[in-house]
Amino acid sequence: MSVTLKSRTARDAAALIEAGAAPEARRAEIEAVAERYAVAVTPAMLDLIDADDPEDPIARQFVPSLAELDARPEELADPIGDEARSPVKGIVHRYPDRVLLKPMHVCPVYCRFCFRREKVGPGGEALGEAELDAAIAYVAERPEIWEVILTGGDPLMLSPRRLKHIFSRLDAIPHLGVVRLHSRVPVVDPARIDTALLDVLSGAEKTVWLAVHANHERELTEEARAALKTLHGAGVSLVGQTVLLRGVNDDAATLEALFRAMVRARIKPYYLHQGDLAPGTSQFRTGIEEGQALMRRLRGRLSGLAQPTYVLDIPGGHGKVPIGPAWLEGSDAEGWVVEDVNGVKRRYRPA
């Protein structure tokens, strides 16, 4: 495959087929899905797709499948209740001390399991200046808000000029302590982590944290690791977000490799998300019991540095809660019963 074919983001069936990311036989199904949901696969991800492997975990995340048009009754257009917790356009206020700020709805890639798949895409609604003013004012008027989380869409798709403008507005709010960004960019389009962007992030007065989304070890390429190293060197603290996905990472060995790769790349694994009830995503969702069993297997195999918290974002906007396995079974007159990492029940008798 020539380099030219993979020098641009594939946004339709023809481009995916030309780049070798999908066979000609899938043209009609990809076109059908693309009429409903946005499609984009960056050159960095196209290079990772093994066209000869029908179960390729990278292709599964980004190349449309007809299963996406199979919406189930339990699935929701707004699965985590953003709209119900949006007092001002661009703001989601779910917890007392932090808010989401969504300046745009464009992403470098469109994940086939995305919980905001009804909102994101080319031409996705972006905040105008007056709308941004109202969103910033909402934060400034509420001293209980300590953290602003830039999301969307992907905030690192903003131009450095626009991002600097937003940071300057947030830096002027005295009670804010942290600005966090959620992004796929360092992994799926690492060339965007350039000097202009690093200058914005390193120049911020607030502490900057970046939650990096990756679901498989192969996504952390040499180029991605180099981009993450420069971000870390610019003073940006890195945490990792992963979605538990059937056919991508729903086994202990794959998760172990991913979380180790994250730690090597200076990312602290932060959350392992149970799949949300977004339309057409049942093909990806595991049962919670499966996720708990995986987390149980990882305990003892991975150090605490590499252990994320397994969480469920409760539908309706009620927030994230830990749903990992329980190790403490209860207490009686003889003390507590606790299970060790090998599955053996032990007694703990406090004084």
Known catalytic residues are 94-95, 98, 107, 111, 114, 116, 276, 313, 320
CA distances from 222 to 151, 191, 198, 319 (A): 25, 12, 19, 35
Which amino acid is it at 98?
R
CA-to-CA distance for 240 and 193, rounded, in angstroms? 17
Tokens of 152: 């969307």
CA-to-CA distance for 277 and 322, rounded, in angstroms? 17
CB-CB contact of 191 with 223 (8 Å): yes
Within a 10 A sphere around the Cβ of 266, how many other Cβ atoms?
A: 16
Which amino acid is it at 149?
I
CA-to-CA distance for 209 and 349, rounded, in angstroms? 40
Cα–Cα–Cα angle for 156, 113, 25, rounded to 5 degrees: 110
> What own/partner pairs with CB < 8 Å and gap ≥ 24 does 20-25 have?
20/46, 20/49, 20/51, 21/46, 21/49, 21/51, 21/59, 21/62, 21/63, 22/51, 22/59, 22/63, 23/51
Pairing of strands 207-213, 237-243: parallel
Chain centroid, CA 19 distance in Å: 25
What single string gives the DSSP state of each residue in 202-271? Answer: HT-SSEEEEEEE--SGGGS-HHHHHHHHHHHHTT-EEEEEEE--TTTT-SHHHHHHHHHHHHHTT-EEEE
CB-CB contact of 148 with 101 (8 Å): yes
